[in-house]
Amino acid sequence: MLLIIRNLFRGARRFGQLEQDLGIAKNLLASRLNNLVEAEVIEKVPYQDRPLRHEYLLTDKGRDLSPSLVALMRWGDRWCNGGAAPTVLIHAECGTPLDQVTHCPSCDDALDPSQIRSRPGPGSMEVIK
């Protein structure tokens, strides 16, 4: 499913495009697309009436997956591709290659993973004393 989402971020919208790019069986692709629609990660929107055809668009929930996909991509570049990225993400406006950095919103420091901790959040069942 991650490859489907990746291809949607790259601009693929139609079943045929996704099938060709991913090289998977139609029944598997249809099933995975339906699962993503049910999970509200993508929406199925008609673009043609006769015959009825749809395109698949990322929802806000789906677009929020972008940082996770970028993180997995960076990990793969480092650990599975010897540090040589086969694809470079760039800013569409100016062409500058992008970094993936976690910043503290208060002090704007770039953080190393060793500097990150966790605590119970508002959705936690843990009682804070």
Q: What is the domain range of residue 84?
A: 66-115
Residue 126 has a pLDDT of 66
Please give the C-alpha separations between residue 92 and each of 43, 49, 109, in angstroms, as whole numbers. Answer: 24, 33, 25
Question: 49 and 86, same structural domain?
Answer: no
Residue 69 has a pLDDT of 92
**Number of domains within the chain:** 2
Residue 3 has a pLDDT of 94
Residue 13 has a pLDDT of 96
Nearest alpha carbon to residue 37 among 65, 6, 1: 1
Residue 108 has a pLDDT of 86
Could you tell me if 44 and 56 are in contact, meaning their C-beta atoms sit under 8 angstroms apart? Answer: yes
What is the mean pLDDT for each group of 10 consecutive residues in the chain (129 residues)?
Answer: 94 96 96 98 96 96 93 90 86 87 86 84 72
Residue 92 has a pLDDT of 87
Question: 82 and 50, same structural domain?
Answer: no
